[in-house]
Amino acid sequence: MPRKTVFQASVEFLQILDEDAKLDAKLAKDTLTDDEVKFLYEQMIINRQLDEIAFKLQRSGRMGTYPQNKGQEAAALGSGFAAKKGSDYIVPCYRENGSMFLHGLPMHYVLLHWMGDERGNQIPDGVNVTPIAIPIGTQMLHATGMAMAFKIRKEPRVAVTYFGDGATSEGDFHEAMNFAGSFQAPVVFFCQNNQWAISVPRETQTNCETIAQKSVAYGMPGIQCDGNDLFAVFRATREALDRARAGGGPSFIEAVTYRLADHTTADDAKRYRDPEEVEAWASKDPIIRHRKYLEAKGLWDDAKQAETEARAKTIVQEIVRAAEGIEKPSVEEVFDSTFAELPPEIRRQRDTLRTSSIGQEPDQAGLRAHEEARA
């Protein structure tokens, strides 16, 4: 029997606003208005200011380890802006501050999280954002499950989940992709390919020419876009969301961007990254690109820049005050968010602040009966 080709695939790259701020008007049609670009540009500045202050908070011992979002603001903001606030769900990793804020997460919650205060993970009612996910890849499974619930309930909602290029080497990624593809779950898998999985370069992370082509194995559309281009990110995400909402199942987006800062404040990227590479990507900084675009259209100038930067500093100062000024939690709060109704032995621990019910008796098998007899 002769050989024959049974399947072929290709991956499209989408760029609308290039590194020199030149816009492809045809591709940009029906994407972002000038006012929307201005708004998102302002959000970039605010998020960058928060990043810089968060770095200083960590260095001064006022906060724990922090992963900067620097250089990746357009990917988070463009995709988050495409999703429907109050309907779709944002399921983040830990470099999507802009998307979470667009969907209503109070900005000081991010600082609380990295300060080790669990209240930063207690998402307010009505905010469709899940807590920041530190384990690599686990949130993709959560997003797929949520999307399946939307499908079963016949709700026109979509889950958008974020992760880095390194997460595509995790088993959770493949399980989530396979399940979503098999059952046509309305979920958008959004990969922020920032070229580095901590100190492992993308070329070592995978032998694939693109990250987006991994979608082929799971029977879902995949696209690679310029992650530093608000227009391209918005269009790619909106198309994926519309497809999912119409019953077309999941999609995969690879947003090509770069981590301009260290992996976290506990990392020193100078030890493994070529300075020339960092410098080359710094010239593609989304803040620089979109400012050039707005200035070329006569929509931005030095005065507006200074005014926005000053406003960003004021906003971030208020965020820091809110995070550092929060009342200390009571001991009882440790118990309040775990059970809908506290079991007797846990209630006893809360009321007595003693753990006599969980291990101070040598006869573990008879522990419960012993405690009930004492009660």
- Active-site residue list: 259, 263, 272
For residue 159, give the 3-state DSSP assignment: strand
Closest CA to 46 of 234, 313, 322, 318: 313
Tell me the C-alpha to C-alpha distance, in Å, between residue 276 and each of 262, 280, 353.
Answer: 15, 6, 57
Tell me the C-alpha to C-alpha distance, in Å, between residue 277 and each of 139, 195, 255, 259.
Answer: 30, 11, 18, 11
DSSP codes joined into one string, 215-250: GGGGT--EEEEETT-HHHHHHHHHHHHHHHHTT---
Tell me how far the alpha carbon of residue 143 is from its chain's centroid.
12
**Cβ-count burial 301-337 (b if 16+ within 10 Å, e if not):** eeebeeebeeebeeebeebbeebeeeeeeeeeeeeee
